[in-house]
């Protein structure tokens, strides 16, 4: 009987010990005041600034930035906002915006968008000759203070121009082909639409290419160019059907055609 009581007592101690270990191993979250670093680039490299070119899209787009808490994760969602506080961005007013962002419970980092919309520019020619700039910063609140000096501002250079591809009208030499053979006459609005729909900028077209797209050389095959032409025609039809007026060249005033 004594042995039985002893075994029960030992078992009780073991269970108590296991319970204690389990409680001690539970993560302890710091829900106090934390600093928040924000930056463009990636985890390893923070960029001084990034560019946003309105000419690369005809509608809404975004730039992604990183945010990281310097302390421990919290057991609740934590929110923050950023604001445009300086820069010569009067012309861009209304064409960019931010929102309230959230670092999820249990997490210390995430990526978030700053939104832009080319169609909301007051003047289509804004930033086409002189670059603009917007500086963003985090708005301190009850959850977060600003991070370290090099990670408390987001600098965006505003552009709104495209260089006409060198080989648009005439290819420099074989085996390359001119853009005009597939896509017709050049206009900035047409090229912007192409970039928006294909994601390709300053590519080359080769009639000897064996793959559709060679990322290393930014070269597409002639058959892929034909496919892109078909895709662009379909996308243009959708655009024209869903907008008040057809996509129009800025210089000639004529509708864009492929």
What crossing angle do the helices spanning 222-242 and 188-198 adopt, rounded to 10°?
100
Residue ranges per structural domain of the chain: 34-159, 162-258
Assess whether pLDDT exceeds 60 at residue 150.
yes
Region 138-166 average pLDDT: 92
- Sign of the dihedral defined by the CA atoms of residues 160, 119, 196, 47, in that order: positive
Assign 10 a pLDDT band (cuts: 50, 70, 90).
Answer: very low
pTM above 0.75, yes or no: no
CATH code for 34-159?
A: 2.60.40.2030
**Average pLDDT for 148-169:** 93
Provide mean pLDDT across the span 193-219: 95
Residue whose token pair is 């008040």: 244
Q: Calculate mean pLDDT across residues 99-113.
A: 96
Is residue 8 within a helix (H) or strand (E), and if so which, with residue range? helix 2-25
User: pLDDT tier at 32 (50, 70, 90 boundaries)?
Assistant: low
Q: Are strands 213-214 and 219-221 parallel, antiparallel or unpaired?
A: antiparallel
Dist. CA 39–CA 153, nearest whole Å: 7
- For residues 31, 35, 36, 38, the Cα torsion angle rounded to the nearest 10 degrees is -170
Q: Quick one: pLDDT at residue 149?
A: 84
Range 30-38 average pLDDT: 77
Beta carbons of 45 and 12 less than 8 angstroms apart: no
Q: Are 36 and 138 in contact (CB under 8 A)?
A: yes
């Amino acid at each position: 009987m004594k042995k039985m009581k002893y075994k029960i007592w030992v078992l009780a101690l073991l269970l108590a010990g296991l319970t204690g270990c389990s409680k001690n191993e539970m993560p302890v979250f710091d829900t106090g005041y934390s600093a928040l670093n924000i930056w463009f680039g990636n985890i390893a490299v923070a960029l001084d600034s990034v560019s946003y070119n309105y000419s690369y899209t005809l509608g809404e787009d975004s730039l992604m930035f990183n945010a990281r808490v310097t302390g421990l994760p919290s057991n609740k969602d934590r929110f923050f906002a950023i604001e445009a506080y300086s820069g010569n961005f009067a012309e861009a007013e209304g064409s960019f915006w931010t929102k309230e962002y959230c670092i999820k419970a249990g997490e210390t980092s995430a990526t978030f968008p700053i939104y832009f919309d080319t169609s909301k520019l007051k003047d289509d020619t804004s930033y086409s000759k002189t670059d603009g700039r917007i500086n963003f910063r985090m708005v301190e609140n009850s959850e977060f203070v600003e991070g370290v000096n090099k990670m408390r501002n987001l600098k965006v250079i505003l552009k709104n121009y495209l260089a006409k591809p060198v080989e648009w009208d005439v290819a420099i030499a074989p085996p390359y082909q001119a853009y005009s053979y597939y896509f017709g006459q050049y206009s900035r609005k047409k090229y912007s639409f192409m970039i928006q729909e294909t994601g390709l900028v300053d590519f080359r077209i080769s009639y000897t290419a064996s793959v559709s797209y060679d990322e290393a050389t930014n070269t597409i095959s002639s058959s892929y160019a034909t496919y892109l032409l078909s895709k662009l025609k379909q996308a243009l039809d959708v655009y024209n059907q869903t907008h008040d007026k057809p996509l129009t060249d800025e210089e000639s005033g004529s509708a864009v055609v492929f």
